[in-house]
Amino acid sequence: MDLESLRREYLQGGLSRADLAEDPIDQFSAWMQQAIDLELADPTAMTIATVSADGQPSQRIVLLKHFDKTGFVFYTNYGSRKSNELTANPKISLHFPWHTAERQVKICGEATKISTAESIKYFISRPKESQLAALASQQSSVLISRTFLMNQFESLKQKIGHGEIPFPDFWGGYRVVPKEIEFWQGGANRLHDRFRYLLNEDGSWSVDRLAP
């Protein structure tokens, strides 16, 4: 494969300091709404990066389920690799790759578990099949086969699929409290526009333009 010759220009528009909101959450909200309005595929999909105890980074894609001034929320199995790594080191990075819009957003901060009440509220809003899947899968553990997993799922479906699904105490959400948020807009000749918000000790945000 000739990967070196695969390239394209980024020409959809630039980004200036005057375009930015004073608060990065407001800026993120505006960009997220635009991504939804453009009908981008999976606009809430984000790559999250955690680090193991021995310093090995690991990435995976999850879905953003809520955000506000307090942070960005996603859900997972608390026995998963990501959860084990966050227990040892709560530092985390989120990345939204909105390629079609020639935009990226990177968020760095720390993750903390949300309350059980918040997790239950979201869990019961999910389709029953998704609730059952959360019970059936011991996320990140070694599987004998997919057949074993599907048998687990079908067994639970037969037992409790027609009633209320019990909330699993090993499942729930994390809230990522941001300390740094970067907005990236593609530019011609690889001269992209990058603006980084950094959280100050007094709770305000400072903004810097970064070299591409």
Q: Which residues are catalytic?
A: 190
Is the CB of residue 131 less than 8 Å from the CB of residue 123? yes
Residues in the chain: 212
Decide: helix, strand or coil at residue 134: helix
Burial label for 82, CB within 10 Å (0-12, 13-18, 19+), is: buried
Contact 212/190 with Cβ under 8 angstroms? yes
Q: Which residues pair with 60 in a beta bridge?
A: 48
* Contact between residue 118 and residue 173 where contact means Cβ atoms under 8 Å apart: yes
**E strand or H helix at 172:** strand 171-185
